[in-house]
Structure 1
Amino acid sequence: MAVSNTGPLAGIRVLDLSSVIMGPFATQILGDLGADVVKIESPSGDNMRAAGPMRNPGMGAIYLHLNRNKRSAVVDLKTPQGRHACLELAKTADVLLYNTRPQAMARLGLAYADVERVNPKLVYVGAYGFGGRGPYAGKPAYDDLIQGMTGLASLYQQSSGEVPRYAPLALADRVVGMHVAIAMLAGVLQARSSGVGQQIEVPMFEAMSQLVLGDHLGGQTFKPPIGPSGYARMLTENRRPYATSDGYVCLLIYNDKQWRSFFDLIGRPELANDPVFANHTARGEHIAEVYRFVAETLIGHTSEYWLEGFTQADIPVSPLYSVDDLIDDPHMQAVGQLVDLQHPSEGAIRTPAPIGSYSKTPLSIRRSAPKLGEHTREILGEAGLNAADIDAMLASGAAA
């Protein structure tokens, strides 16, 4: 795939030691924006290579999406030659990302102090479970555990009486991955202006806590508390797609004008003066009753009836999509949000497009997700290793 790099981050090099989803998602964002992402993999490869579906071993669907616009080198960091190669690569990089625990990086001889000695301008970013100053420092963490510990799983139970459950996507990995991408960019900007890099920590627990508490700190915002935690509108049982007589619609009647239009639509204009519905504050204080009224009203007609009626009344409404519906959505197709590609080894695939439109530095998918170690020789050569050194690493298993 030969596409020129016109992205706004062209000229920034990222040394990516991360795996699975959170770190690779962060570097995918930077790669889409034009950064040169060098993916360092162990001899066994990124675990997401093995997560199906797949046409060929080691090239799972999620791996293909997360690792486009990257090059792959296999370097065994547990060997002296592998550590040396990594430090040589660090000399050429603007930012290094890892998502193992800091103790593991120290055991490899790749702690910040080790890397700073060879490149004082490098931004050294660790993305892992818990901040190093707290009692959970060093504990393992995965998306499911973080969703549970930050209250996200229990919010399902609190809002609907269901058993606690996780969001059916890698929500923590991807939300925190965006924080990681921002942190890497912020570090590079500072380093380029000051000439000095720094060590940055992006912990999952704290980042997802910010996400949850931003909505649900509620009355505990104030000291002493003036009420319980929780955002009532988010927690009411009927804040969900509304059932109609033949399906579901997604609806948000929000401001006073929209509520008056709704009451006109259902032939109940007098409700606009009811104390429960009179204004935003009143509706918030009676939010369970308000949402229950809407739910009981919508069950009386078809989805098509409500979609047409709410659209004419200028009230925000949409159909309820499945993932397959989303793939086939005409707007998605018109804006090219799914891109068809010809992968060198996997054949015809489609992948979500880079996000955003840049008038002077357009984004692109320049590289298909690499096979394991596809660029090992190329990358080690760029780090200054000669052909004999590279052959020796390949022969010993320190590279592959």
Structure 2
Amino acid sequence: MPGPLDSIRVIDLTSMISGPLATMMLGDQGAEVIKVEAPGGGDHTRAAANRRGGMSASFLHNNRSKRSAVLDLKAEAGRAALLKLAATADVFVQNFRPGVAERIGVGEDAIRAVAPSIVYVSISGFGEEGPYRDKPVYDPLVQGVSGLASVQAGSDEARPRLVRTILPDKLSGIVAAQAITAALLARARTGEGQHVRLSMLDAVVAFLWASDMGSQTFVGDSLPQQAAASFADLIYDTADTPISVAVQSDREWRSLARAVDHPEWLDDSRFRGVEDRQRNIDARLELTQSALRGRSAAEWLERLAAADVPCAPVLTRNATLDDPQVRANGIVVEFDHPMAGRVRAARPAARFSGTPAAIGAPAPAYGADTEAVLREAGLGETDIEDLRRGGAFGPEREAGT
């Protein structure tokens, strides 16, 4: 059964993480995604570390459910070939620095001239205006400017800390995928395409506002310095391995106090209500930690779960693979890649009852589909040979090799 985006064709000029993750999600949901790569090696993540069979893990995890075509957009013939592909597409996605797409002849006007109702998507680091627009951007820079590194530190007085995963890159990819499907829905209703612009900075600041910018919410009453809610994580040591315990409501607090054999906490004025417990969060967490050191993780998880206290084990990456809930959800799947061999991946997170998403073709070899996608766009063998002679596929490169 086809996925929810079946019959949608996407031309993907993106590289690295944010754009490729967005288009991979569309591909998993049934869209046909044609990844257009430059001569000389293509997407930079193809050359990343942790490789097998000539394929990097990073490229595999952000480029499945796609086909690869190599076109030299610096050559007139390469741009002509791209326009042929764009004329057959519903979505065009690029993450060049602002202004680059226009300079090389693949900006919105050029693409819309051959595909008037296309959804044209531009993903940038800092945005298309302002003093940072032309800066090269990587994930840590966005963590710094957005305030995320300060949030991760816990307080404005503490040294900023990076989140130890490329959250801005991946979040931007997810936001882009959602925005693209929204634009496609609007087009289905109106018949008109539009330009979707997204910066990584926009995505992260909007993400933080949902939970971490409370002190900046009320105009005129912003705090001059963000104090830490707590310097303690909700990760607790036990007699062996750590666990996470998180309580919010009065009922959960009462259940925790009784489960750890400290009913006297319920008479402590510092912890009587939600606001009291938040104001005295460090003292509360320190008491909780002191109580949890006395038993093993397994004992505490059983005891706390029986009392309906929110809790879970804290696992290493390898241990996560064997967690019974992860297995019950079928999150991690295995399949054979023609170059990399047997590989693992996380299945598409959202499940559709009528139009299921699924991992499609494995991440493609560099340029493996160049000739095929051009033929599907209506080019004959003579046309393809003319493009090759015109340098469309790069210097001395045979299409499809």
TM class, shorter-length? over 0.9
Taking only the aligned residue pairs, the percentage that are identical comes to 39
* Inter-partner Cα distance in structure 1 for 2:106 and 2:28: 27
Pair 1:315-2:312 in alignment: no
Shift of 1:229: 6.3
Note if contact 1:156-1:162 (Cα within 8 Å) is conserved in structure 2.
Answer: no
Task: Report the equivalent of 2:216.
Answer: 220
Q: Map of 1:280-295 to 2, 5 A cutoff?
A: 280-295=274-289
Q: Which amino acid aligns with 1:280?
A: V
Pair 1:123-2:119 in alignment: yes
Q: Which amino acid aligns with 1:157?
A: A
Task: Report the equivalent of 1:46.
Answer: 43
Task: Report the equivalent of 1:32.
Answer: 28
* Inter-partner Cα distance in structure 1 for 2:222 and 2:292: 35
Q: Which amino acid aligns with 1:83?
A: R
Note if contact 2:53-2:341 (Cα within 8 Å) is conserved in structure 1.
Answer: no
Task: Report the equivalent of 2:254.
Answer: 260
Task: Report the equivalent of 1:356.
Answer: 350
Q: Map of 1:160-199 to 2, 5 A cutoff?
A: 163-199=159-195
* Inter-partner Cα distance in structure 1 for 2:268 and 2:374: 72
* Inter-partner Cα distance in structure 1 for 2:314 and 2:29: 32
Shift of 1:127: 0.5
Shift of 1:274: 2.2
Q: Map of 1:326-345 to 2, 5 A cutoff?
A: 326-345=320-339
Note if contact 2:152-2:163 (Cα within 8 Å) is conserved in structure 1.
Answer: no
Where does the alignment leave 5 or more consecutive residues of structure 2 unmatched? 394-398
Q: Which amino acid aligns with 1:53?
A: N
Shift of 1:177: 0.6
Q: Which amino acid aligns with 1:52?
A: A
Q: Which amino acid aligns with 2:337?
A: H
Task: Report the equivalent of 2:59.
Answer: 63
Pair 1:72-2:62 in alignment: no
Pair 1:158-2:154 in alignment: yes
Other structure's SS at 1:342 match: strand
* Inter-partner Cα distance in structure 1 for 2:13 and 2:120: 11
* Inter-partner Cα distance in structure 2 for 1:336 and 1:61: 20
**Residue 370 to residue 226, structure 1, CA distance change in 2 (3 Å):** closer
Note if contact 1:216-1:231 (Cα within 8 Å) is conserved in structure 2.
Answer: no
Task: Report the equivalent of 1:18.
Answer: 14
Q: Which amino acid aligns with 2:53?
A: N
Other structure's SS at 2:357 match: coil
Other structure's SS at 1:102 match: coil
* Inter-partner Cα distance in structure 1 for 2:276 and 2:234: 21
Task: Report the equivalent of 1:249.
Answer: 243
Cα deviations by residue, 1:208-245 (Å, 9 ceiling, x for unpaired): 1112233222232112115456585xx41112311123
Cα deviations by residue, 1:159-206 (Å, 9 ceiling, x for unpaired): 598743322222111111111001111111112222221111101111
Note if contact 1:99-1:128 (Cα within 8 Å) is conserved in structure 2.
Answer: yes
* Inter-partner Cα distance in structure 2 for 1:388 and 1:166: 53
Other structure's SS at 1:216 match: coil
Q: What root-mean-square deviation, in Å, do the aligned CA atoms of Structure 1 and Structure 2 show?
A: 1.9
Note if contact 2:156-2:226 (Cα within 8 Å) is conserved in structure 1.
Answer: no
Where does the alignment leave 5 or more consecutive residues of structure 1 unmatched? none
Note if contact 1:6-1:361 (Cα within 8 Å) is conserved in structure 2.
Answer: yes
Task: Report the equivalent of 1:99.
Answer: 95
Q: Which amino acid aligns with 2:123?
A: A
Other structure's SS at 2:195 match: strand
* Inter-partner Cα distance in structure 1 for 2:156 and 2:286: 13
Shift of 1:94: 0.7
Shift of 1:37: 0.6
Equivalent residue pairs, number: 393
Other structure's SS at 2:92 match: strand
Task: Report the equivalent of 1:206.
Answer: 202
- Farther off after superposition, 271-280 or 20-29: 271-280
Query: TM-score, structure 1 length as denominator?
Result: 0.93
* Inter-partner Cα distance in structure 1 for 2:149 and 2:111: 38
Shift of 1:395: 4.5
Note if contact 1:218-1:231 (Cα within 8 Å) is conserved in structure 2.
Answer: no
Other structure's SS at 2:60 match: helix
* Inter-partner Cα distance in structure 2 for 1:205 and 1:365: 29
Task: Report the equivalent of 1:385.
Answer: 379
Other structure's SS at 2:23 match: helix
Query: TM-score, structure 2 length as denominator?
Result: 0.93
Cα deviations by residue, 1:118-157 (Å, 9 ceiling, x for unpaired): 1110111001112223332232211111111112223333
